Structure 1
Amino acid sequence: MNLLQRAARLVNTVVSPLARSGRLGPMTEIGYVGRRSGREVRLPVAFLPEGDGGVIRVELPDRKTWWRNFTGEGAPLWVRVAGADRPGHGVAVRDGRQVRVDVRFG
């Protein structure tokens, strides 16, 4: 685990409860099962609702690995919206240096 990942883990521990509460504007929590570990992962993200789903923009994507769980055909996930977990499907899209995860609720 590199320094950025360790720092992110610490920050996520503090930010996750606030994101779940809905007090951080566009911040919310997502959850998914890791493609390699098979473990449930929860983390705070900035989620921008759009149509019947939304977009998660990935900051510093080359230094993060979580979004790779959604490459190719994507994977199931849930997003905390208005205090409830909504199941959906996320697909990572890379455009040059930028990465986003497109989410569609189902």
Structure 2
Amino acid sequence: MDRTYRRGQTVPVSSFKDRYLRWLNRTLNPLTLRAARSGRGPFSLVEHVGRKSGRTFEAPLILAPVPDGFVAELTYGDRVNWYRNLLAGGGRVFHRGKWYRVVGVEAYGVEEGLRALGAPASWVLRLLRRREFRLLRVEADL
């Protein structure tokens, strides 16, 4: 197997998924971060603290407001950093110009999640067979 070197360590060459996620991070994330920070458009901002680094990070996501908080779909699975950091140390959500503190995360039903996100997001998620929804329970962050 081909190998590449990173920080003095030999590691396997990245998979297509890893390369795709890195490309998204470098190209689309800066644009969607700007949209999320503006409080307009479909994007919200999830602020979380790194489990190891202690640094604050921001992730632009499409969240659906529901009575108990916000619904998120884990498009890239439950191993993504923003989600793992949120579980480990909490975080905040910026949605439509307001900050909310995340006080809990729990599983959310597939049909309920699709209904909360609405069209056209639910159409795309059905087509991609995405089924991992989470409820981010929040309180207003003063």
The two structures have a TM-score, normalised by structure 2, of 0.59
Unaligned runs of 5+ in 1: none
Aligned to 2:29: 12
User: Which structure has the bigger radius of gyration?
Assistant: 2
2:94 to 80, 96, 102: 80
**C-alpha RMSD over aligned residues:** 2.7
Q: How many residues align?
A: 102
Is residue 104 of structure 2 the alignment partner of residue 104 of structure 1?
no
Contact 2:104 2:136 in 1 (8 A): yes
Unaligned runs of 5+ in 2: 1-13, 110-129
Measure the CA separation in 2 of the matches of 1:92 and 1:38. Answer: 23
Measure the CA separation in 2 of the matches of 1:86 and 1:70. Answer: 13
Deviation of 1:24 after TM superposition, in Å, equals 1.9
Measure the CA separation in 1 of the matches of 2:136 and 2:19. Answer: 29
Describe the shift of the 1:94–1:54 C-alpha distance in structure 2 as closer, same or farther (beyond 3 A).
Answer: closer
2:49 to 9, 23, 33: 33
Aligned to 2:40: 23
Measure the CA separation in 1 of the matches of 2:52 and 2:44. Answer: 24
Identity across matched positions, percent: 28
Is residue 58 of structure 2 the alignment partner of residue 42 of structure 1?
yes
Would you identify which runs of 4 or more consecutive aligned residues in structure 1 move more than 6 Å?
none
Query: What whole-Å deviation, never above 9, does each CA across 1:57-77 have from its counterpart, x for those lacking one?
Result: 111317744322345xx5411
Describe the shift of the 1:4–1:92 C-alpha distance in structure 2 as closer, same or farther (beyond 3 A).
Answer: farther
The two structures have a TM-score, normalised by structure 1, of 0.75
Aligned to 2:71: 55
